[in-house]
Amino acid sequence: MRYVLIGDSFAEGYGVDFKDAAQTQLEKLVGIDIYNFGSDGYFGPVQYYLIYKDLAKQFEHDGVILFFLPANDFTDNDYTFWKGFHPSWYRPYYKKTNNGGYDIFYPEQAMPNDQYEDKVEGNTIKRFMLRNLMRYTFTADTVRTIKYLLARSPLEKLGYSGYFDATAEQQEAALYFVEKLVREATPRRVMILVIPNREDMNRIRSGKSYKDQYWFNKLSSMATNTDIEVIDMADHMPDDYASLFLPCDNHWNALGNRAAAKLIAAKFHSSISHRDTHPVGAAR
């Protein structure tokens, strides 16, 4: 049995050894193969949908596991949020249509890296030098890090929580593309893991409820489909939830990856057992 894993850096396994990543742990716990299409670098629901539709779907698989991270999945494809920081990035964003849906667009001034290098005046040597300076020097890495910090600071300084603070349109757009991915995966089984970070958990444990949020109710509605299962990790976090994250940022450490894998594995086994007991079409 083979599953496709879709998501951002959490799915990719950022910050831990491969043996400790959720993918590796889940393969051991469930005994399945996982094709991991997770990627860091500001990936959100628009990219999840495109990667699945145009790439991952071409491979034989029995189901899809989607890692959904409210901490940035609501903002990653919002051009109004990013245009002040990286207007020339060649990446997909959403825009609302007149019929209430969302289209995908790339900013007019954006261009792929290879085209950007071709725009540089001069000969091949100059383009070669630019490419290598951008990719392999500490200075370029420093500039990218500064840009990253500047881009994220508006959310972090405000104590942003994706579980609570996303705008109505950000929530609608994100779930629009999650739903499109799910439709692309039909009739395969889809499991969606919703991932809280420390700020989300701080608010939840202070007594605040997110159960009236559009995104939560939309996912809950999708989960009424027998082939879609939603696991809200916030319901299963330990008292010392901070112990699941790296000390330097909001990514999981090995314990966090293990906890996520165990939750998915438990849901996987319980669903298989239920289907064996109550096959499709059987009386209940």
pLDDT tens sequence across 44-98: 999 999 999 999 999 999 999 999 999 999 999 999 998 887 777 889 999 999 9
- Inform me whether the pLDDT recorded for 126 exceeds 70: no
Instruction: Tell me if residue 68 falls in helix, strand or coil.
Output: strand
For Cα atoms 236, 238, 243, give the angle at the middle one, nearest 5 degrees.
Answer: 125
**What's residue 83's pLDDT?**
87
**What's residue 110's pLDDT?**
84
Contact 119, 105 (CB under 8 A): no
**What's residue 251's pLDDT?**
96
**What's residue 226's pLDDT?**
86
What's the mean per-residue pLDDT of the chain?
87
- Inform me whether the pLDDT recorded for 166 exceeds 70: yes
Strand partners, 245: 252
DSSP state for residue 121 in the 8-state scheme: S
**What's residue 111's pLDDT?**
77
Which ranges constitute the DSSP H helices of the chain?
9-12, 22-30, 45-54, 70-73, 79-82, 113-119, 124-136, 138-157, 162-165, 168-185, 198-205, 214-222, 254-277
The residue with tokens 């849906």 is 101
Q: Considering the domain 2-79+161-277, what is its CATH architecture?
A: 3-Layer(aba) Sandwich (3.40)
**What's residue 148's pLDDT?**
56
- Inform me whether the pLDDT recorded for 149 exceeds 90: no
**What's residue 282's pLDDT?**
34
Taking the C-alpha atoms of residue 145 and residue 139, their distance in angstroms, rounded to an integer, is 10
Instruction: Tell me if residue 160 falls in helix, strand or coil.
Output: coil
Contact 105, 95 (CB under 8 A): yes
Residue 260's closest CA among 237, 239, 243?
Answer: 237
Taking the C-alpha atoms of residue 6 and residue 67, their distance in angstroms, rounded to an integer, is 6
**What's residue 130's pLDDT?**
60
- What would you measure as the largest C-alpha separation in the chain, in angstroms? 74
**What's residue 128's pLDDT?**
62
Taking the C-alpha atoms of residue 279 and residue 262, their distance in angstroms, rounded to an integer, is 25
Taking the C-alpha atoms of residue 79 and residue 77, their distance in angstroms, rounded to an integer, is 6
Residue 284 CA to its chain's centroid (Å): 36
Taking the C-alpha atoms of residue 76 and residue 87, their distance in angstroms, rounded to an integer, is 13
Which token pair is 182? 């799910």
pTM: 0.85
pLDDT in tens, 189-198: 999 999 999 9
